[in-house]
Chain A
Amino acid sequence: MNPSANSVVYNTPNYLDAEGGVRSWLFTRDHKRIGVMYLVLTTSAFALGGLFAMLIRIELLTPGPTIMSAMTYNRMFTLHGVVMIFLFMVPAIPGIFGNFFLPLMLGAQDVAFPRLNLLSVYLYLVGATIAVWGMIQGGADTGWTFYAPYSTTTTTKVVPILLGAFVIGFSSIVTGINFIVTTHTMRGPGLTWDRMPLFVWSIYATSIIQVLATPVLGMVLLLVAIEHSFGFGIFDPARGGDPILLQHLFWFYSHPAVYIMVLPAMAVISEVVCAFARKNMFGYKAVAYSSLGIAFVGFFTWGHHLFTSGQSAFDAGIFGVLSMFVGIFTAIKVFNWTATLYKGAIKFTAPFAYVCGFLFFLVFGGMTGVALATVSLDVHWQDTYFVVAHFHFIMVGGTIMAFLAGIHYWWPKMFGRMYSEGWALVAACTIIFGFNATFIPQFLLGNMGMPRRYYSYPAQFWPLNVASTAGASLLGFGFLLVLVYLLLSLKYGRVAGANPWGSRGFEWNTPSPPSALNFPVPPVFTHGPHDYQDRGPGEEPSPTPPPEAQHA
């Protein structure tokens, strides 16, 4: 935060009005506009993935066939997974909030490579177009994991889906490189590493995983596509190939990818917790370093996806223990967030409601994760709905809650308008309740032995499946509600001031919406983030001593 920036008069237009016309958007290099483009694209992808999810749940409403054939059902769960993971959860929070707020928080005028940033949007768009084209051609039925030899022999259109995900991977790498370089080289004067907002720390950790893991996924997707097209036999046991190798290479990316999805969520939560508890983050350094800890350990846990795939018991044990380390770093964060709430002046707004939802899903999903990392228990739960419910709780619950918390928290900053707080709370309750109603029955079903990805099931599983489908309907309704009142707020919402929440985050020191040129004068940072120390709520920060007098 930079008190001196408050007095600066912004006579430049805001980023939305700076230039008009479609061309100015298509060729923009403004990180804020690119963030908005990501918002539109990833939300559309989320709607598509959600549509597939609803169709799956409707199909599972009855034990036998309901609305589709078994083949269509296989395609539905594959496309649901592919769209949600590659088109929504991986790019969403870094793409939207990372692009929009990382430079603002660092006091930079833009990300380090604005042209590459625009390229990342177009890579995403090209990849998504190829994937959607593949879906129109019939889609794939392999599951989003593309296990061989089925994925290399299926007659469905798996190649466009693979290539789409491959291209989107480069979008992810480009974004990651951009954020790492921006964080290293573009910090404003006085913004040392231990003064950086926790959002930046966590996005930075995410970017490291994106740069290091995504190329391996790209390679393996390409190999599957090559093998499917030309029969090279890389993973085909009939030609001397090893299908387990595919699983190793795939999970070397796809397990860290879980942290690509959840670390940005943690980034958002760290900001929102401080803003609505009106307190400094408890244990700032522990939260910052635990992000890096998760990123590091995340690279050595992929083997827990192969407990039943023919890995040695010794390896399985090692991977199980390493997986539990992730729980330690996550717990550090959870304890610090809750400790931040203690004796805080909590404002129970919609973003804060999502923080509560996030904490619940993260703890519940995380603890079932530790249980699943235990090899003997995992053998019982492998490929059941228990696993499905677990990763939906931690990845989807975590990411969606943080996404919604972030979109509500930053909506006034991004678009200069307030949404309807009453409706937002109604929607938050609907979504959190709907999410629980969808996935708690799946934990129970999994524990009873219902396998995932099955088209039909015995009649005794029927009531819980109905409950799950009912929950999913509520969840879908909640999302529609959010979409409607947010879009309406763009036109009818109350005009938000520069800082409607009274937040002390650095990014709130700009007008709402921010000026096209971020800062007329480069801001000077004199203290750490979320600086609520020794001041009552709503009170402006006192004049800050010169930088050299402060040790954050």
Chain B
Amino acid sequence: MPEATTPAIEPPLAHHFVSMRQQTEAARLGMWLFLVSEVLLFTGLFTAYAVYRFLYPTVFEEASRKGVELWAGTTNTFVLITSSLTVALGYHFAKEGRGKLAAALLAVSLALGFVFLGIKAIEYTNHFHEGQLPGKFYHFAEVQGPGASMFFTLYFIMTGLHGAHVVVGMTVLAIMAVRAWREEFGPVHFAPIELAGLYWHLVDLIWIFLYPLLYLI
């Protein structure tokens, strides 16, 4: 173990728990259940995607070829996976009590989050200029026919909801980075950064499903 094994701040045990172990277990289970509910939130959208993909297979394929930029989606996939790696490393070092290093790694993740949002913003701007918009706003000449606007309806709702999750995740990571910098975490108390990491991995995982659905197939 490195020198900084004792955290600067005593791990807070809430009054209603009997032990730190019970508190950590409760927090972990709660987070997993929350992630399950998040997955189901997106499941409604994935179902809608499956139904419309089945109804309009050719138009969806065409829209995916001509409507979205493959480079943007691919780059963003790498950006998010890398950010998940740095979060996992940050968690690892926070647990070892190396708070400053953990904070730096979380800051890298945060920066990658901004890169992701930046690329997404460029894509959204293009969609607006090309008229690749949902429902009645749709006026993209290259892909026409029933279901063409539906692809972009789903595209905007799915990536929009995912983007909102990215923003929330980045906020959480920023808080964790500050707390890690203050050496709040150590071998005993690491639950908050673990939960933040789980959330970020989920955000990443959802993108890993969105990427092939919207950009590849």
Contact = CB atoms under 8 A, between A and B. Distances in A.
A211 B47 contact: no
A219 B45 contact: yes
Given A233-B149, A239-B149, A177 B33 contact: yes
A185 to B, nearest CB: 4
A241 B15 CA distance: 52
A522 interface: yes
Contacts of A245: 47-48, 51
Contact of A109 (B15, B147, B149, B153): B15
B29 A185 contact: yes
A215 B150 contact: no
Given A242-B51, A249-B44, A215 B37 contact: yes
A181 B146 CA distance: 47
A116 B16 CA distance: 14
Given A180-B33, A223-B157, A240 B56 contact: yes
Interface in A208-245: 211-216, 218-220, 223, 226-227, 230-234, 236, 239-242, 245
Contacts of A242: 51-52, 55
Given A180-B29, A185-B29, A212 B135 contact: no
Contact of B135 (A108, A112, A176, A232): A232
Contacts of A186: 16-17, 22, 26
A112 to B, nearest CB: 4
Nearest to A173: B37
B43 interface: yes
Nearest to B145: A240
A112 B26 contact: yes
B136 A215 contact: no
B149 A240 contact: yes
Among A182, A212, A213, A232: residue with most chain B CB under 10 A:
A232
B36 interface: yes
Among B37, B45, B51, B52: residue with most chain A CB under 10 A:
B37
A212 B51 contact: no
Nearest to A30: B16
Among A176, A211, A234, A248: residue with most chain B CB under 10 A:
A234
A113 interface: yes
Contacts of A59: none
Contacts of A185: 22, 25-26, 29
Interface residues of B, number: 38
How extensive is the interface on chain A, given as a class? 35 or more
Interface in A126-162: none
A211 B153 contact: no
Interface in A446-487: none
Interface in B117-146: 134-136, 146
B34 interface: yes
B25 to A, nearest CB: 5
B16 A234 contact: no
A175 to B, nearest CB: 12
B41 interface: yes
A184 interface: yes
Among B33, B38, B146, B150: residue with most chain A CB under 10 A:
B33
Contact of A181 (B33, B40, B44, B52): B33
B30 interface: yes
A93 to B, nearest CB: 20
A463 B104 CA distance: 77
A452 to B, nearest CB: 27
Contact of B153 (A114, A173, A232): A232
A245 B40 CA distance: 16
Interface string B71-112: 000000000000000000000000000000000000000000
B18 interface: yes
A299 to B, nearest CB: 11
A226 B149 contact: no
9 contacts: A185-B26, A186-B26, A211-B33, A213-B40, A216-B44, A232-B134, A232-B135, A239-B135, A249-B44
Given A109-B15, A240-B52, 9 more contacts: A110-B16, A177-B30, A177-B33, A182-B26, A215-B44, A232-B153, A240-B56, A240-B148, A522-B18
Interface of A: 108-114, 116, 173, 176-178, 180-182, 184-186, 211-216, 218-220, 223, 226-227, 230-234, 236, 239-242, 245, 248-249, 522
7 closest residue pairs by CB, A with B: A219-B44, A110-B16, A109-B16, A232-B135, A215-B41, A233-B135, A215-B40
